[in-house]
């Protein structure tokens, strides 16, 4: 099995890297603008919800018109509004930034559907591994974005320096358009019972369980992505340094996602997810008590790898148990994951302003412990 099975998958993964590189620069930009924790939480919630709540619609659309228009168009839309956000006055720029997230909403369900299909067709049925590789490239983009954004803001001392990030995104969109020029519409419909098999519990109980698991994990991870830079800024770190550490969290998440996806195909999705989440609670808790010491350079990427290990697992389980097309299932779970995390993050921002940023990490540790417990309620057939 090749790491990336063909040029189409490679181009899709590179486009995902570009989309999430733009997404990942948001927390550094908002921190650089000097916004409060509550304001960061509010704008980030609007940004994530704009993308998330649109994903079920875009997933449904991908099942009907195919993924090409949505993946390519989504990246180009996002690039255009990102450029506008850097060039317009501050308040208008923030509005443009939020509306640009619709491009991310269009790209993710269509891209996830295509990546999973490529895994089934080109990687000997290893759908979770394929999904994890696709998500790894997105997380790599998110992890590199804070490092690049912090360095660009430090060098140019102007938000317009972030326009250089579009130097990869726009060519990646046109390359993907070329690679997908012959793609046809693939409709993956399932029967009324989906792939749950025979169980004594109704479908809605498993959907609820999966929703709780996804929401808790997403809340914890959104806390880390959006408040690591603010926490470290309060400790006196410069943009370049807190950008690097935020990037380390997402870099660890990208690596953990691939490892978790591969292990899930071998040992079962429920077992891998439960163990990873339980282990994640320790470094999350310790980050808030380590200040700016050397230990955060180890704890932050470790927390990222363990919390990120279950992302592709959750998506593939959703594709198995949510009835309808794969695009719709992908859009529903991704939209729910990100919107639930954003809602939780808004609460976290208020708590951080009241009780301090170390509290964010203790809260996140508790969330992943609860998420680990919910994995035992999923049906064995999802493995």
**96 found inside a domain:** yes
Task: Label residue 337 by pLDDT band (50, 70, 90).
Answer: confident
**1 found inside a domain:** no
Which secondary-structure segment (H or E) carries 222? helix 203-234
Task: Say whether pTM exceeds 0.75.
Answer: no
For position 381, what pLDDT does the model report? 67
Asked if residue 49 lies in contact with residue 218, where contact means CB atoms within 8 angstroms, the answer is no
For position 311, what pLDDT does the model report? 84
The boundaries of the domain holding residue 146 are 7-382
**181 found inside a domain:** yes
Q: What is the pLDDT of residues 59-83, one digit of tens each?
A: 889 888 888 889 999 999 999 999 9
Q: How many CA atoms lie within 13 Å of 302's alpha carbon, on the beta-carbon side?
A: 16
The contacts of residue 310 (CB under 8 Å, 6+ apart) are 213, 217, 260, 272, 273, 276, 277
Task: Label residue 19 by pLDDT band (50, 70, 90).
Answer: very high
Query: In the block, which residue shows the tokens 């990208």?
Result: 254
**191 found inside a domain:** yes
For position 42, what pLDDT does the model report? 84
**280 found inside a domain:** yes
Task: Label residue 150 by pLDDT band (50, 70, 90).
Answer: confident
Top-confidence residue, 352 or 326: 352
Q: Would the pLDDT of 183 be above 60?
A: yes
Mean pLDDT for 134-162 is: 84
- Work out the burial of residue 3: count CB atoms within 10 Å of its CB; fewer than 13 is exposed, 13-18 middle, 19 or more buried: exposed
Q: Would the pLDDT of 138 be above 50?
A: yes
Q: Would the pLDDT of 383 be above 80?
A: no
Backbone phi, then psi, for 89, in 5-degree steps?
-55, 160
Mean pLDDT for 336-340 is: 79
For position 283, what pLDDT does the model report? 94
For position 367, what pLDDT does the model report? 94
Average pLDDT taken over every residue of the chain: 83
Q: Would the pLDDT of 182 be above 80?
A: no
**211 found inside a domain:** yes
Q: What is the pLDDT of residues 79-106, one digit of tens each?
A: 999 999 889 988 898 899 999 999 999 9
Backbone phi, then psi, for 35, in 5-degree steps?
-75, 155
- Rounded Cα distance between 40 and 35, Å, is 6
- Work out the burial of residue 237: count CB atoms within 10 Å of its CB; fewer than 13 is exposed, 13-18 middle, 19 or more buried: middle
**149 found inside a domain:** yes
Other Cβ atoms less than 10 A from the Cβ of 83: the count is: 19
The contacts of residue 241 (CB under 8 Å, 6+ apart) are 150, 232
CATH number for the domain harbouring residue 327: 1.20.1250.20
Q: Would the pLDDT of 1 be above 50?
A: no
What's the total number of domains in the chain? 1
**286 found inside a domain:** yes
């Amino acid at each position: 099995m090749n790491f990336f099975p063909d040029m189409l998958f490679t181009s899709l993964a590179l486009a995902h890297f570009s989309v999430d590189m733009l997404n990942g620069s948001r927390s550094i930009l908002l921190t650089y603008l000097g916004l409060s924790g509550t304001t960061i939480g509010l704008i980030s919630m609007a940004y994530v919800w704009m993308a998330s709540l649109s994903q079920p619609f875009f997933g449904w659309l991908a099942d009907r018109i195919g993924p090409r228009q949505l993946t390519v168009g989504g990246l180009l839309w996002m690039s255009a509004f990102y450029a506008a956000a850097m060039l317009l006055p501050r308040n208008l720029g923030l509005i443009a930034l939020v509306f640009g997230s619709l491009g991310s909403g269009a790209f993710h369900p269509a891209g996830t559907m295509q990546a999973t299909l490529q895994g089934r067709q080109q990687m000997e049925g290893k759908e979770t591994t394929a999904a994890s590789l696709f998500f790894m490239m997105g997380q790599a983009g998110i992890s590199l974005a804070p490092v690049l954004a912090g360095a660009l803001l430090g060098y140019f001392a102007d938000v317009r320096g972030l326009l250089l990030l579009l130097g990869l995104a726009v060519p990646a969109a046109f390359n993907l358009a070329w690679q997908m020029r012959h793609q046809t519409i693939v409709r993956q419909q399932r029967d009324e019972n989906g792939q749950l098999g025979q169980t004594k519990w109704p479908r809605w109980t498993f959907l609820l369980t999966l929703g709780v698991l996804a929401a808790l994990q997403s809340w914890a991870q959104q806390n880390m992505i959006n408040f690591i830079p603010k926490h470290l800024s309060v400790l006196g770190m410069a943009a370049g340094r807190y950008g690097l550490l935020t990037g380390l969290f997402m870099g660890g998440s990208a690596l953990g996602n691939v490892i978790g996806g591969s292990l899930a195909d071998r040992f079962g999705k429920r077992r891998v997810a439960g163990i990873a989440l339980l282990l994640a609670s320790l470094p999350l808790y310790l980050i808030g008590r380590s200040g700016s010491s050397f230990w955060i350079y180890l704890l932050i990427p470790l927390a990222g790898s363990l919390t990120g290990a279950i992302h592709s697992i959750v998506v593939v389980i959703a594709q198995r148990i949510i009835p309808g097309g794969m695009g719709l299932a992908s859009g529903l779970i991704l939209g729910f994951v990100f919107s639930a995390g954003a809602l939780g993050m808004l609460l976290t921002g208020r708590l951080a302003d009241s009780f301090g940023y170390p509290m964010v990490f203790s809260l996140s540790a508790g969330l992943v412990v609860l998420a680990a417990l919910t994995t035992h309620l999923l049906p064995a057939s999802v493995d």
